[in-house]
Amino acid sequence: MPEYLFEVSYTLDGVRGVREQGGTARLAAAREAAASVGGTVKTFHYAFGGTDVYAIGEFPDNTSAAAFALAVGASGAVDIRTVVLLSPEEIDAAVRREVRYRPPGA
């Protein structure tokens, strides 16, 4: 299944929710939301700095991952960025694929 990196930054309301419910409650909520669209949360780590959570999830497709991220982001408790992750095998396939490209000015 395709994997996605989610970079999550809590808003003030999100920080209040974590303080009230704890970190494991947010992991449980993320797992439940992912499962509702056929996905799973593989890793979930809190961090210092501008990003509060780094999570990796597996989803059946881009649409499912987008639905998850949109629902989480629409809560207003977080700002979320999604990165599509590629496996080494997918990169191998990409470099073997022929691409016809003409650079600007050529």
pLDDT of residue 42: 98
Tokens 């704890």 label which residue?
A: 22
Largest CA distance in the chain: 60
Alpha-carbon distance of 39 to 72, in angstroms, equals: 14
pLDDT of residue 106: 83
Q: Where are the domains of the chain?
A: 3-96
Task: Give the β-pairing of 53-58 and 40-46.
Answer: antiparallel
Question: Residue 71: CB partners within 8 Å, gap ≥ 6?
Answer: 33
What fold does the segment set 3-96 form as a domain? Alpha-Beta Plaits (3.30.70)
pLDDT of residue 46: 98
Task: Pick out the chain residues at pLDDT < 70.
Answer: none
Alpha-carbon distance of 73 to 16, in angstroms, equals: 16
Alpha-carbon distance of 84 to 65, in angstroms, equals: 9
pLDDT of residue 35: 98
